[in-house]
Homo-oligomer: A and B are copies of this chain.
Amino acid sequence: MNESLFSHSHLSAFAKEIFLKIGCPEDQAMRAVESLLRADLRGIDSHGVARLSGYVRLWEAHRINTRPAIRVVHESPSTAVVDGDSGLGLVVAPKAMEIAMAKAKQAGTGWVAVKNSNHFGIAGHHAMMALPQDMIGMAMTNASPLVAPTFSVERLLGTNPIAVAIPAGQQPPFVADFATTTAANGKLEILQRKEKEAPLGWIQKKDGSPSSNPNELKNGGALIPLGSDREHGSHKGFCLGAWVDIFSAVLSGANYGPWVPPFVSFLNPPANPVGEGIGHFFGAMRIDAFRPANEFKKHMDQWIERFRSAQLVAGEEKLIIPGDPEREFEIDRMKNGIPLNTKVVADLIEVGKKFDVPF
């Protein structure tokens, strides 16, 4: 596959122009760019500028409001429900995370459920906002239904990711960010581009039987919850995806399960919505609401060092602490550039032409 490198600043400037062209205020355009580019930097290529044209098409379909009045519609000392006013999830999510952190400053923790939002990029970016405040950050979201619960052939859940970001001291932070399926949808997109087969246990056919075809979803197939099959715990993956769905949407008043609107603009949202838009859930916990932050960080360092020095299976190089690979990507790509494949570049050039913004 042909790839070219682009600098973070180049892609940021381009994406910002596009967000301005579709009507985002300056501050929101910058925030959207920060969320979006973080995915490219961290190596989650499926969620970065490759999705820019998708957001634009949703705006063209009048499904994204680029001048949202994001507001708190219900609250308690440690909680809030936020109405995203159909805004870009890339903008709504950081705003909701800020509300969670403000609550945590007062009450020790803050928990914010969001309705009426759209795709928010990578969960990890929002969770990590808590780190500089010596807080633990959490972020989750529901998403277009692509996943069949154990024993079912219907796509009832999204890949519903969970992110947990935990500060350390000398060590870099612990940042887990993962889809609650065996494999994220982005992994399938990579196999599709490379025309390779998927391992069994990632995807099922329309009738629920195993498939290794990364295009199986186009034939009515589905992704499988983490665990792969009942014997290996796919019911636990289903529990996780369901938990994310309920916290994100039933607590907030968003759409849940099969009613979650699709990300792609060529598919219409269900005609009988049970809520508003898609839902997210955020948490911020002040470390010193539990124990002094320096004590906590000292022990986090010890935790990370002990695990990092674990005895390995012969032939393996290292035990990966959650967040390690993404941090290495971020350092490398900030310095050396972000690789984009030919198809993504062509797509960005197209988007640029639409608004008279040269890529």
Q: Would you call A107 and B76 a contact (CB within 8 A)?
A: yes
Q: Would you call B151 and A316 a contact (CB within 8 A)?
A: yes
Q: Report how far A306 CA is from B242 CA in the complex, Å.
A: 12
Known: A199-B231, A243-B176, A274-B302. A152 touches B319 (CB 8 A): yes
* Chain B hits for A299, CB < 8 A: 250, 253, 256, 274-275
Give A316-329 as 1s and 0s: 1 = Cβ < 8 Å from B's Cβ atoms.
11111010000000
Give A278-313 as 1s and 0s: 1 = Cβ < 8 Å from B's Cβ atoms.
000000011101110001100110110011001111
Check if A239 is an interface residue, CB within 8 A of chain B: yes
- Near B by CB (< 8 A), chain A positions 138-172 give 149-154, 156, 164, 166
State which of B107, B150, B233, B274 has its C-beta within 8 Å of the C-beta of A183.
B233
Q: Would you call A79 and B149 a contact (CB within 8 A)?
A: no
State which of B108, B149, B226, B251 has its C-beta within 8 Å of the C-beta of A236.
B226
State which of B78, B208, B274 has its C-beta within 8 Å of the C-beta of A313.
B208
Check if A74 is an interface residue, CB within 8 A of chain B: yes
State which of B78, B152, B258 has its C-beta within 8 Å of the C-beta of A109.
B78
* Chain B hits for A319, CB < 8 A: 149-152
Check if A111 is an interface residue, CB within 8 A of chain B: yes
Which residue among A74, A79, A149, A300 has the maximum number of chain B CB atoms within 10 Å of its CB?
A79
Check if A201 is an interface residue, CB within 8 A of chain B: yes
Q: Report how far A322 CA is from B299 CA in the complex, Å.
A: 35
Check if A113 is an interface residue, CB within 8 A of chain B: yes
Q: Would you call B246 and A166 a contact (CB within 8 A)?
A: yes
* Chain B hits for A245, CB < 8 A: 303
Q: Would you call B233 and A151 a contact (CB within 8 A)?
A: no
Contacts A81-B290, A108-B111 given; 10 further ones with Cβ under 8 A? A77-B77, A78-B107, A81-B291, A152-B312, A153-B310, A226-B227, A242-B307, A246-B303, A256-B299, A274-B302
